Structure 1
Amino acid sequence: MTQPATDLSPSAREAIVEALNQSVAETAVTTMLAQNFHWNVTGMAFGPLHALFQEIYEDHFVAQDDLAERIKALDGHADGMLSGMLKRSKVSEHDGHADDKTMVAAMQAAQETLAATLAAAGALAAEHGDTLTEDLAIARGQTHEKFAWMLRAHLR
């Protein structure tokens, strides 16, 4: 049964907000990772990878806002501090000094991490009847799985 955000118990709301803040943190770090790779990619695959990394960071920039706005709809605090995001994120920064295959592999791993984080957030939301958060998490998870597939295809 669907519950409005206002009908969630305080503990359910807190757990869902925490899962969403984890998602925001990893999305933000991956956004910058993609932008860094976009700026620094070289090699024979420069054109398509430059474009793909741009597609990823543009998608993720919008996603950060969607996730943060859901946090606010749940009456939570969206943690927007970069230092906090870096500490919380399971995705790591990269200095951008790498060959194109290393960049693609790092971005693929980041996408898979994001997909898993969002799957967990969606499952938590479903457990508490928060179908709106569940739907957002599913949609975002599908996007990250698609990006992971596209990146894997570059490595074969």
Structure 2
Amino acid sequence: MTQTAAALSTDVKNQIADALNQCVAETAVATMLAQNFHWNVTGMAFGPLHELFQKMYEDHFVAQDDLAERVKALDAHAEGTLAGMLKRSKIKEHDGKASAEEMIKVLQEAQETLAATLAGAGALAAQGGDTLTEDLCIARGQAHEKFAWFLRSHLA
């Protein structure tokens, strides 16, 4: 049964909010990865990679806000510290000292991880009857799968 956030039980809201905070954390780390690589990419593919990485971090920055605001709509606390996000995230920081190919691989793995995390959060939301969160997770997961495809295409 589909319900609005107000109609969900506190337990269900807290479980979904926790899953969304995982998504926020991983999105924040992926944002910084893309921006770091945008700044530091070099080589013959500089132009297209510089542009792709910028599209990624701009997309992810907006997504962080959308996900965190959904956490707040569920009456929960949105994780807002870098330390908390880094601790929670399955995606790890990178110093940016890498070849363009390594940057692509790191970002591809990050996109795939994030898509999987969003799929899990969406499934949890669906189970709890929160179709609005489920829809947000599906849309974001699709965006990250598309970025992963773009990145894989550079390695083919």
In the superposition, the TM-score normalised over structure 1's length comes to 0.99
Partner amino acid, structure 2, of 1:73: A
Please name the residue that 1:98 is paired with.
98
Once the two structures are TM-superposed, the CA of residue 10 in structure 1 deviates from its matched residue by 1.2
After superposition, the C-alpha distances for 1:120-143 in whole angstroms (9 at most, x for unaligned) are: 000000001000000000000000
Partner amino acid, structure 2, of 1:77: H
SS at match of 1:65: helix
What is the number of residues matched between the two proteins? Answer: 156
Alignment of 1:2-151 (within 5 A): 2-151=2-151
Distance 2:155 2:86 in 1: 27
SS at match of 1:79: coil
Partner amino acid, structure 1, of 2:20: L
Partner amino acid, structure 1, of 2:128: H
Partner amino acid, structure 1, of 2:75: D
After superposition, the C-alpha distances for 1:51-104 in whole angstroms (9 at most, x for unaligned) are: 000000000000000000000100010010000000000000000000000000
Distance 1:14 1:75 in 2: 8
> Any unmatched runs of 5+ in structure 1?
none
Once the two structures are TM-superposed, the CA of residue 2 in structure 1 deviates from its matched residue by 1.2
SS at match of 1:93: coil
Identity %: 74
Partner amino acid, structure 1, of 2:98: A
Distance 1:2 1:9 in 2: 13
**Runs (4+) of structure 1 moved beyond 3 Å?**
none
Partner amino acid, structure 2, of 1:84: G
Once the two structures are TM-superposed, the CA of residue 35 in structure 1 deviates from its matched residue by 0.2
Q: CA RMSD in A?
A: 0.4
After superposition, the C-alpha distances for 1:19-67 in whole angstroms (9 at most, x for unaligned) are: 0000000000000000000000000000000000000000000000000
Partner amino acid, structure 2, of 1:94: H
Once the two structures are TM-superposed, the CA of residue 7 in structure 1 deviates from its matched residue by 1.1
Distance 1:69 1:32 in 2: 20
- The more displaced of 4-13 and 26-35 is 4-13
Distance 2:55 2:4 in 1: 33
